[in-house]
Structure 1
Amino acid sequence: MAAVCVDDSYFEVGDDGRLTLIPGQEGLRDVLYFKTPDTYTFKKADYPWLARVFVMVQAGGGGAAGARANAGQLVAQPGASGGGYAERLIEASALGATESIVVGAGGDAGTATIDGGAGGNSSFGGLCTALGGNGGQVVMASGSTPVCHTGTSGPLAGVGDLAQGGGPGGGSFRINGNEGHSGEGGESRLGHGGWQRATSGGGGAGRGYGGGAAGALARDGDSVNGTAGGQGIVIVYLYG
């Protein structure tokens, strides 16, 4: 009779005499991407082989304010901050039968006289949460004299094995009625903030996921709206 040697770190003989792979030794089997802002349901029963999950949670970035300037004057607004990020390795035994997945939206674009909106939080159940970026505010009044404004603070860390807040939005300044600079958008773990402006228009939009929008700039009677923040994302790695 032939004999076969197997590594008992990976295989076991069941009560029925069959040689099987030990649960949890298969490695990565699937990756789920939730890219559209919404609420989803993760059902553990859909993956009977599941041993653990590794989740990456990126919140939405803040939206930036618009700007309005009088004739011969200039307004430049600060940028919005990037969304926070969190990650966690979770054993299947710690999961509920269902877990709610939330993908945070980017913050709304502000108008010429209204602040940008905050980015939405993203989460995987109550086990991993990232906080949305703060919106850029309408802080600079129309004028032609030198002035500068502080940038927008980033959100605090959320919940996870690793959790961090988003990057701050950049400050803005005016040199005179024709020259100035808006603030850049804040960075995120999975995205970049928008580019700042030295000419009239809305600030740049973020790239990737969770970046903050740059502030708007207006001069010589211009009125411009702000820019929306980058949306969040949740990524779930499934291990068997």
Structure 2
Amino acid sequence: MASVCVDDDYFDVGPDGRLTMVPGSLGLRERLYFKETGTHEFNRGDYPWLARVFLQVQAAGGGAAGAKARAAEFMSAPGGAGGGYAERLVDASALGGTETIVVGKGGVAGTATVDGGNGGNSSFGGVCTANGGAGGKAVMESGSTLIAYSGTAGPLAGIGDIAQGGGAGGGCFRLTGNQGHAGPGGESRLGHGGFQRASTGEGGAGRGYGGGASGAVARDGDSVSGTAGQDGVVIVWLFG
């Protein structure tokens, strides 16, 4: 009778004589991207071979305020903060049958003289969470004298094997009634903040996922809306 040898790191012979794979020995099988903002579900039963998951959770960035200047005057706004990030490796046995996934939406753009909105939190159940970045405030009034304002503090860390807050939004300043700078948007782990500007216009939008928006600039009677923050994302790596 013929016989074979099997590597018991990868294969197992059950009591009924059937050859099966050892759970967790196959490595990465699939990757899921949740990019649409809102609530989603992860059903463990859809992946009967699942041994563990690696989670990457990126929260959304904050929006930025607009600006409105009187004639011969200048006004600018600070940037919104970047969204926080967390990652975690979790055994499948530690997951519920259904886990809720939340993808945070970028903070809304403020209209002229109105604050930018806060970025939404992102999470995978309660095991991996990240906090959204705060929106930039409309702190500067129209004027022509030298003045400067602090930026927007980044969010605190959430929950994960690695968890960190997002980058702070930059501060804004005015030099004269015609010169100054808006604040840049805060950085995120999976994205970048919007570029700061010195000329009239809305601030730069972030890039990637979770970046904060830059503040707006208005000069000599201009009125400008702000910029929205970047949405978050949740990435699930499935190992069998």
TM-score (norm 2): 0.99
Give, as a single letter, the amino acid of the residue that structure 1 aligns with 2:208. G
- Structure 1 segments (4+ residues) deviating >3 Å: none
1:234, 1:140 → 2: CA distance?
35
1:114, 1:177 → 2: CA distance?
21
1:148, 1:13 → 2: CA distance?
71
Residue 50 of structure 2 corresponds to 50
2:136, 2:130 → 1: CA distance?
19
1:46, 1:101 → 2: CA distance?
15
Unaligned regions of 5+ residues in structure 2, if any? Answer: none
Aligned with 2:32: secondary structure?
strand
2:200 paired with 1:200: yes
Residue 182 of structure 2 corresponds to 182
Residue 221 of structure 2 corresponds to 221
2:49, 2:9 → 1: CA distance?
18
TM-superposed CA distance for 1:88, in Å, is 0.6
1:28, 1:9 → 2: CA distance?
16
TM-superposed CA distance for 1:175, in Å, is 0.7
Give, as a single letter, the amino acid of the residue that structure 2 aligns with 1:201. G
1:76-91 map, 5 Å: 76-91=76-91
Output the aligned Cα RMSD.
0.7
2:238 paired with 1:238: yes
Residue 141 of structure 1 corresponds to 141
1:19-38 map, 5 Å: 19-38=19-38
TM-superposed CA distance for 1:13, in Å, is 0.8
TM-superposed CA distance for 1:4, in Å, is 2.1
Unaligned regions of 5+ residues in structure 1, if any? Answer: none
**Any idea what the Cα deviations from partners look like across 1:44-96, whole Å, max 9, x if unmatched?**
11111111111100000000000011100000111010000001111010000
1:177, 1:46 → 2: CA distance?
62
Equivalent residues, number? 240
Give, as a single letter, the amino acid of the residue that structure 1 aligns with 2:48. P
TM-superposed CA distance for 1:2, in Å, is 3.2
Residue 154 of structure 2 corresponds to 154
Aligned with 1:45: secondary structure?
helix
Aligned with 2:156: secondary structure?
coil
Aligned with 1:99: secondary structure?
strand
Residue 132 of structure 1 corresponds to 132
**Any idea what the Cα deviations from partners look like across 1:135-186, whole Å, max 9, x if unmatched?**
0000011111111110100000000111000000011111100110000000
1:8, 1:235 → 2: CA distance?
31
Give, as a single letter, the amino acid of the residue that structure 2 aligns with 1:129. T
Aligned with 2:45: secondary structure?
helix
TM-superposed CA distance for 1:3, in Å, is 3.1
Residue 169 of structure 1 corresponds to 169
Aligned with 2:148: secondary structure?
strand
1:39-118 map, 5 Å: 39-118=39-118
Residue 209 of structure 1 corresponds to 209
1:146, 1:233 → 2: CA distance?
40
**Any idea what the Cα deviations from partners look like across 1:11-44, whole Å, max 9, x if unmatched?**
1110111222111111111100000101001101
Aligned with 1:82: secondary structure?
coil
TM-superposed CA distance for 1:5, in Å, is 2.1
1:1-20 map, 5 Å: 1-20=1-20
2:91, 2:21 → 1: CA distance?
18
**Any idea what the Cα deviations from partners look like across 1:93-143, whole Å, max 9, x if unmatched?**
000010000000000100112100000000000110000001000001111
